[in-house]
Amino acid sequence: MRVMSGKTVTATLLLLSFLLLGVLYCYQNYRVSVSFELNDSRQTDSVCVCVCDVLPLSEEFHLEAEHLRYQQPSILIGRTDVVTVTPWLAPVVWDGTFDPVLLDGLYRPRNISVAVTVFAVGKYIRFLEAFLLTAEQHFFVGFNVHVYIFTDRPNEVPRVHMAPGRQVTVRSVPSSRRWQEISARRMELIQTLIEELRNHKDYIFCLDVDSRFHGRWGTESLGGLVGVIHPGYYRDQRTKFPYERRPESRAYLAPEDGDFYYCGGAFGGRLQEVHLMAKTCRQDFEADARGGIEAAWQEESHLNRYMWIHKPTKVLSPEYLWQDFKSREPEIRLVRFSGVAKNYAEIRPNT
């Protein structure tokens, strides 16, 4: 074997060094271009990406608390009468588990906007005024709120004075002879509304109109996918939950499935998450219809199946949808939103 001369060794080393430098240079350029691309594509989403760091900051968790004054938190003193976290570690929101001053202070600089959908078809228009008036008093007070009202009676929508930054949009929908259909079509209309809103709103809540606000419902309720625990079943075994129990339905849940029984009358979260849920529930509902089956509680059944598979990132306690006819339980310190008692036979197009 020929031994390399000193000159050859030096030349080889130099060549290798140039090669290494070249590779490093290309890699650096690649990183920069990737981060620019990220920056561009996410600009509308206002995710902060800096050139030297390709890891984007999540909007959900990037909350800054500078100059905020609030009560000292404790990990020893707090609610002991209720469970405040799910087994998958999502918070369960009860009165006394959060600091409203801190939370509002964290979200205010972000200038978030919240969309609300509410359906008032047929005689349910009569609930709209109290819903809107009480929302002005309790729902995200001081934040941007846009209420989308879906109704077949646009001329009967009451005029309610809204605070600055808050507004109402009325959308016409056809009437229906079956309440089940009105209730079920909500998912479709929510899906298409979110597709229109795209990046113009941050969060959405979809609420029953036959209800009123009685207490604060605000930033503590924000999350990726937000479910509300139904007030009627939270003491029951899961086998007793009124889930859809026929395996032929796409909303089916087996007796050993399910975490909580969630409300169809209140849910929400980030636009993207709610969009996926509404789309899935709608598709499953329609596939069921083609197969000649309607889930026991229409979209509520599909929502419960969805939330069993896709765990909500925040769970709201029944404070967030109580029922006027129900007597108050000791763990419910504050009723924030509650369904009014109604005469089904009188109000629904069919019973």
Q: Min. distance of Cβ 39 from ligand UDP in angstroms?
A: 41
CB-side exposure of 101: number of CA atoms within 13 Å? 7
> How near is the Cβ of 122 to ligand UDP at its closest, in Å?
4
> Which residues are tagged catalytic?
300
Give the Å distances, CA to CA, from 38 to 34, 56, 201, 222, 296: 6, 8, 21, 25, 45
Residues that bind ligand UDP (CB under 6 A): 119-122, 124, 179, 182-183, 208-210, 265, 339, 348-349
* Cα(261)–Cα(228) distance, integer angstroms: 9
d(CA 300, CA 193): 19
Minimum Å gap between C-beta 66 and Mn ion is 41
Q: State the CB neighbour count (10 A cutoff) for residue 61.
A: 6
The binder of 56, among ligand UDP, Mn ion, none, by C-beta within 5 to 8 A per type, is none
Instruction: Report the alpha-carbon distance of residue 43 to residue 39 in Å, rounded.
Output: 6
Q: Which does 124 bind (CB under 5 to 8 A by kind): ligand UDP, Mn ion, none?
A: ligand UDP
Residue 210 CB, shortest distance to Mn ion, in Å, is 4
Tokens of 9: 């060794």
Which of ligand UDP, Mn ion, none is residue 182 near (CB under 5 to 8 Å by kind)?
ligand UDP
267 touches, from Mn ion, ligand UDP, none (C-beta below 5 to 8 Å by class): none
265 binds Mn ion (CB under 5 A): yes
Q: Please give the Cα distance from 212 to 233 (Å, whole number).
A: 21
**Residue 183 or 249 with smaller CB distance to ligand UDP:** 183
Give the nearer residue to Mn ion in terms of CB position, either 208 or 273.
208
Looking at beta carbons only, is 92 or 190 nearer to ligand UDP?
A: 190
Residues 192-211 as x/- pattern, contact with Mn ion by CB under 5 A: ----------------x-x-
310 burial type by CB count under 10 A (0-12 exposed, 13-18 middle, 19+ buried): middle
Q: Parallel, antiparallel, or unpaired: how do β-strands 211-213 and 337-339 relate?
A: antiparallel
Q: Which is nearer to ligand UDP, 104 or 210 (CB)?
A: 210
Q: Kindly list the residues in this chain that would bind Mn ion in the complex (CB under 5 A).
A: 208, 210, 265, 339
